[in-house]
């Protein structure tokens, strides 16, 4: 008697990307801890970073707990900044820089 064994393999492809924690808009991670949000023009710059790192730093080593949120520029302008400005005693620093 001849026995035939069948094997089935499944390949799972995951599209891993960073999404805005508020609206779900897609962005992509950059090497410098910022998130670059997709814009209509390849020359537009839309990067945001919200992060807090708290811990200890010694000459030999250090440890930190990091909290971060991924929030797109639209949600930043429409939701985060208005909230922060409502609880801040002074206005946020705003500057224009040449890169």
Where are the chain's structural domains? 18-87
Alpha helices per DSSP H over 1-99: 73-75, 81-87
- Would the pLDDT of 78 be above 90? yes
pLDDT score recorded for residue 19: 85
pTM of the model: 0.63
Give the tens place of pLDDT for each residue, 13-62.
Answer: 665 677 889 998 887 666 555 677 766 666 777 778 788 999 998 989 99
* Per-residue confidence band for 88, with pLDDT thresholds at 50, 70 and 90: very high
Structure tokens that stand for 1 in this block:
């008697």
- DSSP for 28-80? EE-TTS-EEEP-SSTT---EE-EEEEEEEE-SS-EEEEEEEE---HHHIIIII
Mean pLDDT score, 69-98: 91
Q: In the structure, how many helices (H) and strands (E) does the chain have?
A: 2, 6
pLDDT of residue 14: 61
Cα 77 to Cα 12: distance, rounded to the nearest angstrom: 37
CA–CA gap between residue 97 and residue 94 (Å, rounded): 10
Residue owning tokens 């492809």: 13
């Amino acid at each position: 008697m001849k026995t035939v064994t069948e094997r089935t393999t499944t390949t799972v492809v995951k599209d891993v990307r960073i999404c805005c924690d508020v609206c779900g808009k897609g962005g992509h991670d950059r090497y410098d801890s910022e998130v670059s949000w997709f814009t209509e023009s390849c020359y537009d710059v839309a990067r945001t970073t919200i992060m807090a790192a708290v811990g200890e730093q010694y000459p030999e080593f250090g440890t930190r707990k990091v909290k971060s949120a991924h929030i797109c520029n639209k949600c930043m302008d429409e939701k985060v900044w208005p909230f922060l400005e409502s609880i801040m005693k002074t206005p946020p620093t705003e500057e224009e820089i040449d890169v």
